[in-house]
Structure 1
Amino acid sequence: MSRLARPATRIAVGSAVLTRRLGARTAAWVARGRRHDLTGWRAALGCWLRLGLVALGLYLLWRVVRAVPNLLWLLSAAWVAGAWRAGRAPAEAPAGPAEVSEEAPSERPDDAPRGDVRAATLEWIWRQIGDRQGVHLRDLLAHAHAHGMLQDLDVAAFRTHLEWWQIPVRARVRVRGLGVTVGIHRDDLEGLASPSPAAVVQDAA
């Protein structure tokens, strides 16, 4: 890998994380405009209003940049700085899911062989799935945070880390009692690893 390839890759990955993060937050903000005390098109008026505000904001930003082109230098610098922070490779993260599982190896992910970390991560995910159809990323991340791990990651960055480990993530996974959101479905893991009987029994108890 050339000297410039590594930072370029980090910025590219970070840009994807930032784009996904901004998109998710914008979508969540627009969705919060829905009125649950109304039905039909009236309930969605708040969403349409917020969507219009987003479009207006983008249009005003475009007009400002057209009027002051040098502003692009400042915006580009801010974006690159944010992408650099968000594009840390999983090996650079302070800790990983492998440390969360009670029976996982004690090594940090950047000290352990990649195969061992991936296997430990998959085992941890199986433990969180238990006897359900899947697990939501927000719940996985909450479990990690409860154990003092991955504190600097949000769901979007966590998803990027999982995909880097070639662990499939679905945009919509239904978990009984918890609704539908981005997560990992057990069917996608069947070909990657099998849950240990002890883990399933422990989580199902």
Structure 2
Amino acid sequence: MNRRLAAAVDVAARHGVAQRLADGSRTLYRRRADALTAWVAAGRRDDLTGWRAALGPLVRLVLLLAAAGLTYRAARAAPWLMWLLAAGWGLAAWRAGAREQPPTEEPETTSEEDPAGAAVALLREVLGDRPAVHLSEVLTHLQKHGQGEGWKVADLRARLEALGVPTDPKVKVGRVPTRGVYRAALDAHFPIEETSPSPTQVDAA
């Protein structure tokens, strides 16, 4: 059951060009930001102290700002350059988005299966009789069953929210408030139908 639910959540959330570009853009931004930050920090000299040691990073930061200013002025002078920049970013984001997608097995689903319903069933399975659950616990549950390898809580959150599942940033389970799902909010968005089979009944079928 967990394999089928996790596969349905992942396939639905990853569907479409827009989602892939969004994932790739986030990855590309993080990589560029990390690389530039490391480059600026690498300008610091360990053989100097005080402001002299910080002069290298400062110079590199000024160079970055100058490059950004020149790029902006060039784009204002020749607007068509923006199309080239946008196309280059889009292509890089598309490739990065493909690499970010974790490999998954073919989902054991039928074309009639509702991915959102599968995700809700998974959440209710982990919730049990409790009023709330942390996404970290849901992710641990998935990974114990061989799913969501390499995912972080943010990845699971994005997949659930893409399916319309409400999450809350301050769900308190015990005394710890963090990102999770309230049963009341889940039931409000996805009312329980009396005829709906439980996850155990689905497995048994």
Report the TM-score, using the length of structure 2 for normalisation: 0.51
C-alpha distance in structure 2 between counterparts of 1:77 and 1:64, whole Å: 25
| CA offsets 1:72-123 (integer angstroms, 9 cap, x no match) | x8xx69973544544x5xxx8616xxxxxxxxxxx816x4337433222211
C-alpha distance in structure 2 between counterparts of 1:198 and 1:139, whole Å: 20
Q: 2:151: which partner in 1?
A: 153
Q: 2:20: which partner in 1?
A: 10
Of 180, 184, 202 in structure 1, the residue corresponding to residue 181 of structure 2 is 184
Q: 2:115: which partner in 1?
A: 117
Contact 1:129 1:135 in 2 (8 A): yes
Report the TM-score, using the length of structure 1 for normalisation: 0.51
- State the one-letter code of the partner of 1:180: P
Of 127, 135, 138 in structure 2, the residue corresponding to residue 137 of structure 1 is 135
What secondary structure, in the 3-state scheme, does the structure 2 residue paired with 1:10 have? helix
C-alpha distance in structure 2 between counterparts of 1:61 and 1:83, whole Å: 30
Contact 1:170 1:184 in 2 (8 A): yes
Q: Which runs of 5+ in 1 are unaligned?
A: 1-5, 23-58, 96-106, 201-205
- 2:111 counterpart of 1:94: no
Distance 1:116 1:199, change over 3 A: closer
Distance 1:148 1:12, change over 3 A: same
- 2:166 counterpart of 1:168: yes
Moved over 6 A (4+): 195-200
C-alpha distance in structure 2 between counterparts of 1:167 and 1:64, whole Å: 45
- State the one-letter code of the partner of 1:143: H
What secondary structure, in the 3-state scheme, does the structure 2 residue paired with 1:190 have? helix
Q: Any residues of structure 2 matched to 1:13-162 within 5 Å, and which?
A: 13-15=23-25, 63-68=62-67, 80=93, 81-86=95-100, 88=101, 94=104, 108=107, 111-113=109-111, 115-162=113-160
Aligned length: 140
Q: Which runs of 5+ in 2 are unaligned?
A: 1-15, 32-57, 72-84, 201-205
Cα deviation, residue 152, structure 1: 3.1
Q: Which has the higher contact order (CA 8 A, sep 6+)?
A: 2
Q: 1:25: which partner in 2?
A: none
